Amino acid sequence: MTQTFGRLLQHMRDRWKIWRIVFFVVLGVLVGINVLIHPHHAEFGIDAYPGFWGLFGLVSGLAMVIIMKKIIQPLIARKEDYYER
Amino acid sequence: MSASFLHPAMGFLALALVAPFVPRDLWRQKALRATLVLIPPLLALFSVMTVKPGSYGLLHYLGQELVLGRVDKLSLIFGQVFSIIALIGMIYSLHMEEKTHYVTGALYVAGGLGCVFAGDLITVFIFWELMSISSVFLIWGAGTRESVLAGFRYFMYHTVGGLFLLAGLFLKYKATGSFAFDWAAPDVARYYDWLILTGFCVNAAVVPLHAWLPDAYPRASVAGAVFMCAFTTKTAVYVLCRGFHGWNVLAIAGTIMAVYGVLYACIENNARRILAYHIVSQVGYMVAGIGIGTAMTMNGAVAHAYAHILYKGLLFMGTGCILYAVGTARLDELGGLATRLPWVMFWYMVAALSISGMPLFNGFVTKNMTIFGAEEAHRMWLAIGMEVAAVGTFVSVGIKLPYFAFWGRKPEFPGTVRAIPRNMYVAMGICGSLCILQGLFPEMLYRYLPFAVEEPFRPWTVLRVLNASLLLGFSGLAFYLTRVVITPHAKVNLDFDFFYRWIGRLVLAAVCRPIAWLDDRWTKVYRTVGLRGLVKTGAGTAWFDRKGIDTVVDGSAYSVRNIGRAGAKLQSAQLQNYLALAAVFGLGIFFLVWYLG
- Name which of A55-59, B63-67, B537-541 the model is least confident about: B537-541
Domain assignment present for A46: yes
Amino acid present at B165 = L
pLDDT of residue B549: 58
Using CA atoms, how far apart are residues B278 and B266, in angstroms rounded to an integer?
Answer: 10
* B163 near A CB under 8 A: no
Count CA within 13 A, CB hemisphere, residue B131.
Answer: 29
pLDDT of residue B555: 57
Domain assignment present for A40: yes
* pLDDT tens digits along B484-527: 999 998 999 999 989 998 988 898 888 888 888 888 888 888 77
Nearest by CB to residue A66, choosing from B380, B477, B485, is B485
Q: Do A76 and B478 touch (CB under 8 A)?
A: no
Beta carbons within 10 angstroms of residue B24's beta carbon: 8
* pLDDT tens digits along B98-123: 999 999 999 999 999 999 999 999 99
pLDDT of residue B408: 83
3-state helix vs strand vs coil in chain B, percent to 5? 75, 5, 20
pLDDT of residue B519: 85
pLDDT of residue B572: 59
Q: Give me the mean pLDDT over the A58-82 stretch.
A: 94
pLDDT of residue B551: 52
pLDDT of residue B2: 45
- Judge whether residue B443 has pLDDT over 60: yes
CB-defined contacts A:B, below 8 A? 149
Nearest by CB to residue A57, choosing from B384, B471, B482, is B471
Domain assignment present for A24: yes
pLDDT of residue B548: 57
Q: Give me the mean pLDDT over the B584-596 stretch.
A: 67
B550 burial class (0-12, 13-18, 19+ CB within 10 angstroms)? exposed
| Residues spanned by the domain of A49 | 2-76
Nearest by CB to residue A9, choosing from B338, B468, B485, is B338
Per-residue confidence at B556, pLDDT binned at 50, 70, 90? low
Name which of B283, B309, B113, B142 is nearest B224 in CA terms.
B142
Enumerate the residues of chain B whose CB falls inside 8 A of the CB of residue A60.
387-388, 391-392, 475, 478
Total count of domains within chain A: 1
Beta carbons within 10 angstroms of residue B360's beta carbon: 15
- Name which of A30-44, B300-314, B435-449, B495-509 the model is least confident about: A30-44
Per-residue confidence at B20, pLDDT binned at 50, 70, 90? very high
B487 burial class (0-12, 13-18, 19+ CB within 10 angstroms)? middle
Domain assignment present for A85: no
pLDDT of residue B1: 43
* pLDDT tens digits along B52-92: 999 888 888 777 888 999 999 999 999 999 999 999 999 99
- Judge whether residue B411 has pLDDT over 80: no
> What ipTM does this complex have?
0.93
Beta carbons within 10 angstroms of residue B421's beta carbon: 16
